[in-house]
Amino acid sequence: MINSRKKWCVYELDILHKYKKYYPDVLTSRNWWKYYDDLWIDLLNTPPFNVQCKNVQNFSMSKAFGTLSYMEKNIKWKSSLENNYNIIHTHIKSKWDVVILSQDDFFEILWILKANDII
């Protein structure tokens, strides 16, 4: 049986490998910089995103809200990160991999895509 820490590490590395296609220099904060790990940023070099990976059995929306709030509160004073979008990668009931972000961030990204005639 795989313990929860190992499951989390495997999930984080899986997400990291998916990001490599778009961000060749992506790194995990736990291996490279504990400072960012303490801000709950799991992947580095992924602008415009601050990425948190959550591989937990029962990740609820209240936990998602708490995680996004923590990230926003603690990143605010760090100017190189505060303009990034805070996102969470997680599983929903082990069936779907989802990305969670605030509604304001979603609509800002949508506006940027529309303003640049991408959609």
For the chain, the domains span 4-115
Helix (H) or strand (E) holding 81: helix 79-82
Q: What is the pLDDT along the chain (119 residues), one digit of tens a residue?
A: 455 555 557 888 999 999 999 999 999 988 767 778 888 899 999 999 999 998 776 667 778 888 888 888 877 666 667 789 999 998 776 677 889 999 999 999 999 999 999 99
Could you give the CA distance from residue 85 to residue 81 in angstroms, rounded to a whole number?
9
Q: Tokens at residue 12, please?
A: 């984080």
Could you give the CA distance from residue 119 to residue 102 in angstroms, rounded to a whole number?
20
Q: Tokens at residue 24, please?
A: 């060749």
Whether omega before 48 lies within 30 degrees of 0, making that bond cis, reads yes
pTM score, whole prediction? 0.82
Q: Tokens at residue 25, please?
A: 């220099």
